[in-house]
Structure 1
Amino acid sequence: MDIVARNNVKVAGRRGGRPMIFSHGFGCDQSMWRYVAPAFEDEYETVLFDYVGAGRSELSAYSAERYASLDGYAQDVLDVCEELDLTGAVFVGHSVSAMVGVLAAVREPRRLGTLILVAPSPRYIDDGDYVGGFSGADIEELVDSLDSNYLGWSSQMAPVVMGNPDRPELGEELTNSFCRTDPEIAKQFARTTFLSDNRDDLGKVAVPALILQCSHDALAPPQVGHYVHRAIPGSELTLMRATGHCPNLSAPEETIAAIKAFL
């Protein structure tokens, strides 16, 4: 199978430079990195792609069985790395892609040498002392709402996820991105995302990691960022002024500066 076509892989930047992979979140595609990735092209070989089922990937390659867990998405990342022969890459993962990157780096640390985790959450549901931001009933209601009326759910949830109500165009962009996604695939990805629990995987990370935590995030509150930081050995945590769940769109300059400072 042609992985480059399957995942709509785009390579730019300095050929022969250290690879830097940008990975999008739920309901999105690689265009979400358009304000961030170019800032690294002088020094890095940048790699953007769409998960199977997203953006301009080959929808015919989608398998409900493979993508029933985040491991299937981690395999997409590793497939791209193998196809392009990438080693020691910097992996920049937004939202659920942060945990996808964790899984890929644990499985093949030779491929991913550094993790940049943007607004990560290993579990969205509160559990004992763990604060994920949602109750089990909240998530059940969210998934049921998505199942019954995906377009309505998208227009309601996207502005909440994006935050920044004073900049409604950002919420509109995320709504449009959600609405471009095949509803059946989106429903399964949402279920896979919001019911996942990757807390036990964090301690297995053996590569340098940066956590970028927004100051106010409806999906991943600050407690989550602190938890991820404590759980990943030797990781660094940057608390951003940016608000919302998508600083790659709402605060690209601050996002770029934080990544560059870490690297």
Structure 2
Amino acid sequence: MDVRRRNNVVVTGRADGPVLLLAHGFGCDQSMWRLLVPALSDQFRIVLFDYTGCGASALGAWDAERYASLDGYAADVTEICEELDLRDVTFVGHSVSAMVGVLAAQREPGRIGSLVLLVPNPRYIDVPEEDYRGGFSGADIEELLDSLEANADWPQWLAPVVMGAPERPDLTAELEAVFCATDPEVARVFARTAFLTDSRADLSGVAVPSLVVRTARDAIAPLSVSELVHREISGSRLVTLDATGHCPQLTAPEATARAVREFAGTVARQ
């Protein structure tokens, strides 16, 4: 199947600008970037897409075995880059997609030239014996996965936790609607892949310029996690946004766009 159709690829912005490839997180689609795109389109060529099985992608092309690991999502990214013949892309990965970007950059360093890791978390489950706090206990994740297996009310309780902005019920409702629109089987497989994977060992292999962006308060990715990511990726930069929650592209779009613009613009001039 044609990759552009498979992943609902949309190209917008400045045709001759440096390329930003925006990758959404678990249970979401490219609409999560709707507030960022207008702020970046004047300077960058922006490539949006939906992972196979998500959003308006081709559900028929989804395969449970392929997407049972982050490698399958990284393959989507590298195949989009190949299809559009993209090079020196700044990959902006939200949440679990930050780790997808880490894998894609190691596969295709000529195509993925830099990384913006937006609220990254390489391992969501706590490891008490290692003094690692990923944000969730094993029991928390099992409860989430059980809820997904039962096709129950997981969007209703997960969306407020992810958004972390009770003063913006409209954004929480938007995220809940996107979660609800995800095919149940895709959501189950994506959740297991996202929440059970430990990508910490992959961080030291990153060899491209990288920016780690976090919010001041995030229940999904604690501050200690972003500090670990920053520490493990040699030469990376760390920016803390004066914002709350796990979706700063929606709750703090101006600050998020500014961080992306400053980093990607600097990389493009090097």
Q: TM-score, normalised by structure 1?
A: 0.97
Partner of 2:51: 51
For 1:243, the aligned partner's letter is T
For 1:254, the aligned partner's letter is A
Within 2, Cα distance between the matches of 1:154 and 1:40?
30
Tell me by how many angstroms 1:86 deviates. Answer: 0.3
Deviations 1:164-186, CA, capped at 9 Å, x for gaps:
10111111000000001001110
Maintained 8 Å contact 2:39/2:254: no
Please state whether the residue corresponding to 1:28 is helix, strand or coil: coil
Deviations 1:193-233, CA, capped at 9 Å, x for gaps:
00011001000000000011111111101111111000111
Please state whether the residue corresponding to 1:51 is helix, strand or coil: coil
For 2:121, the aligned partner's letter is S
Maintained 8 Å contact 1:22/1:37: no
Within 2, Cα distance between the matches of 1:116 and 1:168?
27
Maintained 8 Å contact 1:25/1:97: yes
**CA-based RMSD:** 1.0
Partner of 1:132: 134
Which 5+ residue runs of structure 2 have no aligned equivalent? 265-270
Which 5+ residue runs of structure 1 have no aligned equivalent? none
Q: Does 1:194 align with 2:216?
A: no
Maintained 8 Å contact 1:67/1:73: yes
Please state whether the residue corresponding to 1:210 is helix, strand or coil: strand
For 2:200, the aligned partner's letter is R
Partner of 2:208: 207
Deviations 1:57-112, CA, capped at 9 Å, x for gaps:
00000000100001000000001000000010010110111110111001111111
Please state whether the residue corresponding to 1:203 is helix, strand or coil: helix
Q: Does 1:98 align with 2:98?
A: yes
Within 1, Cα distance between the matches of 2:161 and 2:17?
38
Please state whether the residue corresponding to 1:31 is helix, strand or coil: helix
Provide the aligned length of Structure 1 versus Structure 2.
262
Higher mean C-alpha displacement, 159-168 vs 140-149: 140-149
Q: Does 1:18 align with 2:11?
A: no
Partner of 1:239: 240
Within 2, Cα distance between the matches of 1:260 and 1:42?
11
Partner of 2:151: 149
Within 2, Cα distance between the matches of 1:49 and 1:32?
11
Higher mean C-alpha displacement, 238-247 vs 135-144: 135-144
Maintained 8 Å contact 2:216/2:242: yes
